Amino acid sequence: MNKSTYLIVLFAWIFASCGEKEHDQPFAGPQLPSNFPPPVYDLSLNPVTEAGFALGKKLFYEKALSRDSTIACADCHISFSAFSHPEHPTSHGIDNLFGRRNAIAAQNLIWAKEFFWDGGVPNLDLVPLNAIQSPVEMDANPAVVLERLRQNAQYKAMFKAAFGTEEITTAHFLQSLSQFMAMLVSANSRYDKYVRGESGGDLSSDELAGLAVFKAKCASCHDTDLFTDNSFRNNGILNDFSFDRGRNEVSQLPEDVGKFRVPSLRNVTVTDPYMHNGKFKTLAMVLDHYASGVQDSPTLDPLLRQPDGTLGIPLNAQEKTELIAFLKTLDDETFLRDVRFAQ
């Protein structure tokens, strides 16, 4: 080996080992925006690493997580629609079966206290088990899924890189999916830049007027910069909840019939159709609902009963236009086009 070849080999070795080292180190984990409350998910119990994130991403796009290997998480949670399912009022899963509910945008998950429309899943780490076992989503036995992964050399190597062992355990499987999902932070919309006083955060007079209407009429439920107070409420889209009782299916309390988790409104222009049952196609329809379509039932939220006995939230045509202008400022192109999250 002459001297220059020796040096090239030496450098190649140094770079290769640096590359490996970076793999074990925590890389820049999820963004924790200054205008958000502290996260609920304890990242210290499952620190996000580059290798863990890469594995979680591969699993999120992996069809072998379903019984007949036809459907991946990402088939119902699509990156460019904030990980919701465009054009699908309710979810469309294995064997062409339809579920009862609209796929929730998977974003800012480390700030959620409970998951699903009824809050039936208390921890992000448990969400995938629910999807995998759901007879209308992936209908698979998690033990069979893990066995499939164990037969795959690439997965063995990726689990080793992420967790230091080739052994593919349920805990590591779930932790890596959580690491991917923890990274799905949307906090760089024009509205965020406005709130944080950053450049690119200019709002027009219509948008500012819409923000004022929003604060007065919507923010009591769509609260904080997450645009949800994480509570369960009945916003009057139905008056018969026998098909889906919402929060009551978890709590069994009669006062919870028809209550659903207040959804975030981030990236709301791309998460249509709206509501737990995908009832409304457009934001204009949503606003018409609040202004004049609210249906009465015993658990209807008191905020939707006006002192004069009318139901809903009074909104005139101008306020509706302003509200829609404001809601559009919640679109976060950086998040929707982030190549780290797309397949």
**Minimal distance in Å, beta carbon 286 to ligand HEC?**
4
In terms of CB distance, is 1 or 45 closer to ligand HEC?
Answer: 45
**Minimal distance in Å, beta carbon 173 to ligand HEC?**
10
229-242 as b/e: b if 16+ CB within 10 A: ebebbbbbbbeebe
89 to 118, contacts with ligand HEC by CB under 6 A?
Answer: 91-93, 99, 101, 103-104, 106, 109, 112, 115-117
Q: Which two tokens stand for residue 108?
A: 């800012």
Contact by Cβ (8 Å): 293, 312:
yes
Contact by Cβ (8 Å): 53, 194:
no
In terms of CB distance, is 190 or 289 closer to ligand HEC?
Answer: 289
d(CA 59, CA 2): 45
Contact by Cβ (8 Å): 35, 57:
no
d(CA 59, CA 169): 14
Q: Which two tokens stand for residue 339?
A: 């190549």
Of the candidate residues 183, 265, 294, 325, the single one contacting ligand HEC (CB under 6 A)? 265
Of the candidate residues 221, 270, 285, 311, the single one contacting ligand HEC (CB under 6 A)? 221
d(CA 226, CA 37): 8
With a CB cutoff of 8 Å and minimum separation 6, the contacts of 78 are 84, 85, 86
In terms of CB distance, is 132 or 162 closer to ligand HEC?
Answer: 132
In terms of CB distance, is 49 or 90 closer to ligand HEC?
Answer: 90
In terms of CB distance, is 23 or 58 closer to ligand HEC?
Answer: 58
274 to 313, contacts with ligand HEC by CB under 6 A?
Answer: 274-276, 283, 286, 290, 301, 303-304, 313
d(CA 131, CA 250): 17
Q: By the criterion CB under 6 A, which residues form the site for ligand HEC?
A: 60, 65, 71, 73, 75-77, 91-93, 99, 101, 103-104, 106, 109, 112, 115-117, 127-128, 131-132, 137-138, 177, 181, 217-218, 220-222, 233, 235, 237, 260, 262-263, 265, 268, 271, 274-276, 283, 286, 290, 301, 303-304, 313, 323
